[in-house]
Structure 1
Amino acid sequence: MKLSVPIFRLKRQARLLSREANIPLVKALDRLAHREGFRSWSLLVREASRQGRGERMLAQFGPGDLVLLAARPGHGKTMLGLELAKTAARDGRDAFFFSLEETEAGIARRLRDFGVADGGGRFAVDTSDEISADYIISRLQNLPSGALAVIDYLQLLDQPRSKPELSVQLRSLGDFAQSADATVIAISQIDRSFEGSGRDMPGLSDVRLPNPADLSHFSRTCFLHDGKLRIEAIAP
C-alpha cells in the first residue's frame, strides 16, 4: 500500500476537512480513505497495520525463485498471494494471479473486501481452464525480467489428466523462473492431518499431494498458520 501522505497527515487533513465542511470527523476520515482507494477509514487502517509485509516478503524472494506458499483453509494464503501480486505490480513489475480455483468476479470481490478497488499497476488476473506450467510460461516469457506469477493453486495444476504430472510442471516452472529472472509463487493446501499434529507451523511433509510430486523443485517455502508466517530456503 502506498498512501499519498503518511497516516498522521491524513488525520490532520481529516480534522481540517471536518471543520471546513462541517461534517463529523468519521465522515471526513472515510472521504480521505476513499480518495486513497479504500472504501472506509477502518479498511485503510487495517491495511496500514500490515504495510510493508508485501515489500518485506518480496525482498526475500529473488529473481529465479519458485516459492511454495502453503496453509490450511482460512489462514489467508489466497489473500497473501493477491497482496504479493498487487505489491509487485505497484512496484512496476508485471504481476499475474493465475487461478484454477476462483472466478475473476470472486477475485475482484476479495480485493474489494481487502479494501482495494483493484490490483493497480501492471496486475492481471487469469482464470483460464488451460492454466498449466506451459500456459503460465507462455504468458510470461516475452515480459521484462522481474515478472511475478502467483498460482492458485498447486494441487489443481495436474488435475486434468491431459496436463503433465506435477513434478514435470514444477521443474519447468523452476527452470523458467531462473532463465527469465522471474518469481513464481504456488499457493498450496496443507493436509488436514496437520491439525492433530500438535505443531505450531506446517512443513513440507504436511503439503497435501493427491498425486506424488517432487517438492525439491521449490527454492523457498512460506508457511502460514494462526497469523504467523515462516519463510525458509530449500537447500539445493
Structure 2
Amino acid sequence: MRLSAPIYQLKRRAKLLARDEKIALHAALDRVAREEGFVGWSLLAAQAASSSGERGILPRLSDGDIVLLGARPGHGKTLLGLKLLLDAVRSGRRGVFFTLEYTEHETRQRIRSMEGETPGLGDVLEIVTDDDISAGYIIRHLAGTPRGTVAVIDYLQILDQRRNKPELSEQLDALQAFARKAGIILAFLSQIDRSYDPEEKPLPDMQDIRLPNRFDMGIFSKACFLHEGRVQFQAIA
C-alpha cells in the first residue's frame, strides 16, 4: 500500500483541515482518506496496519502460545488475524477461523482480497461460524489436530455472551491447558476499551483491553496491538 505521506502526517493534515474548515475531525479524516483512494479513514488505517505487519507475526510464535490481537474497531485486528491464518496455511499448517461476528461469505470475501500472488490459498482455510462457539466447542473441533495448528477466535469478549456458556475466565483456563498440551497456537481478537486515548499513548496495551468480565491477563504469552497503521508486538511470558 502506497500513501502520499506517513499515516501520522496524514492525521496531522486532517487535524489542520478540521480546524481550518471548522468540521468534525472524523469528517476531516475521511476526506483525507478519500484523497488517498480509500472509502474512509477506518479502511485506510486497517490497511496500513496490515501493511505494517507485512512480515507477519507467525515466525514470532511458538506452539502452545496464547496470543492477543487488540485494537479499536476499524484498525486492522481482523485483517491481522486473517493474515496470520493465511501465513499458517502457506507454511503447510492447519488454519481455523472461529467467528461469532462474520458469516463465512463475508470472511471469504475479505480473504480473497488478501491472497495476493497465491489465489485460492484461502480456500484451504477453515471458517467456523456456529453460534455455539465456546471453549468446549473449540476444543472438540480441534481435537487430534497436528501440532503447530493456528486458530483465531473472533472475538475474546463475546465468548461468554450467552448465559448458558461458562464464565470467560473458566473458558480461557480450559483453552490454555488444551493449547499447551496439543501444541496449538490460539490467537484472540480483542476489543479495546473506549477509555483508551491515543493522545496519551500512540498504541493501546494490556491495560486497555475491555474487560466486561475479569480474568487473569497472564494467560496470554504474546500480544500485538494496532492503532492507525502502527503495530507493536510484545512477548508477555
TM-score (norm 2): 0.73
Say if 1:90 and 1:120, in contact at 8 Å, map to a contact too: no
Describe the SS at the equivalent of 1:194.
coil
Unaligned runs of 5+ in 2: 1-47
Say if 2:152 and 2:187, in contact at 8 Å, map to a contact too: yes
With over 3 angstroms needed to count, the CA separation of the structure-2 counterparts of 1:118 and 1:136, relative to structure 1, is farther
Q: 1 CA distance for matches of 2:115 and 2:148?
A: 26
Shift of residue 120, structure 1, vs aligned partner:
3.3
Q: 1 CA distance for matches of 2:193 and 2:224?
A: 15
In structure 2, the residue matched to 1:230 is 232
Say if 1:92 and 1:122, in contact at 8 Å, map to a contact too: no
Deviations 1:90-149 (A, max 9, x none): 111011000001111111121233355544364100000011111111111211111110
Describe the SS at the equivalent of 2:97.
strand
Instruction: Report the residue type matching 1:65 in the other structure.
Output: D
The number of aligned residues is 187
1:7-156 pair list within 5 angstroms:
53-54=55-56, 57-114=57-114, 117-120=119-122, 122-156=124-158
Structure ID, larger Rg: 1
Say if 1:90 and 1:121, in contact at 8 Å, map to a contact too: no
Deviations 1:44-78 (A, max 9, x none): xx9xx679522xx1111100100010001111000
Q: 2 CA distance for matches of 1:185 and 1:162?
A: 23
Say if 2:69 and 2:189, in contact at 8 Å, map to a contact too: yes
Shift of residue 195, structure 1, vs aligned partner:
2.7
Unaligned runs of 5+ in 1: 1-45
Percent identity between the aligned chains? 48
Describe the SS at the equivalent of 1:87.
helix
Q: 1 CA distance for matches of 2:193 and 2:207?
A: 9
Q: 2 CA distance for matches of 1:234 and 1:52?
A: 22
With over 3 angstroms needed to count, the CA separation of the structure-2 counterparts of 1:61 and 1:50, relative to structure 1, is same
Shift of residue 214, structure 1, vs aligned partner:
1.8
In structure 1, the residue matched to 2:44 is none
With over 3 angstroms needed to count, the CA separation of the structure-2 counterparts of 1:78 and 1:167, relative to structure 1, is same
Instruction: Report the residue type matching 2:195 in the other structure.
Output: S
Say if 1:221 and 1:233, in contact at 8 Å, map to a contact too: yes
Q: 2 CA distance for matches of 1:78 and 1:216?
A: 23
Say if 1:218 and 1:234, in contact at 8 Å, map to a contact too: yes
Say if 1:93 and 1:122, in contact at 8 Å, map to a contact too: no
In structure 1, the residue matched to 2:34 is none
Describe the SS at the equivalent of 2:196.
helix
Say if 1:108 and 1:118, in contact at 8 Å, map to a contact too: no
Instruction: Report the residue type matching 2:73 in the other structure.
Output: P
Shift of residue 218, structure 1, vs aligned partner:
0.9
Q: Quote the RMSD (CA, aligned, Å).
A: 2.1
Instruction: Report the residue type matching 1:97 in the other structure.
Output: F
TM-score (norm 1): 0.74
- Does residue 1:180 correspond to 2:182, yes or no? yes
Q: 1 CA distance for matches of 2:129 and 2:89?
A: 18
With over 3 angstroms needed to count, the CA separation of the structure-2 counterparts of 1:122 and 1:223, relative to structure 1, is same
Say if 1:72 and 1:225, in contact at 8 Å, map to a contact too: yes
In structure 2, the residue matched to 1:164 is 166
Say if 1:90 and 1:122, in contact at 8 Å, map to a contact too: no
Instruction: Report the residue type matching 2:59 in the other structure.
Output: A
Shift of residue 169, structure 1, vs aligned partner:
1.0
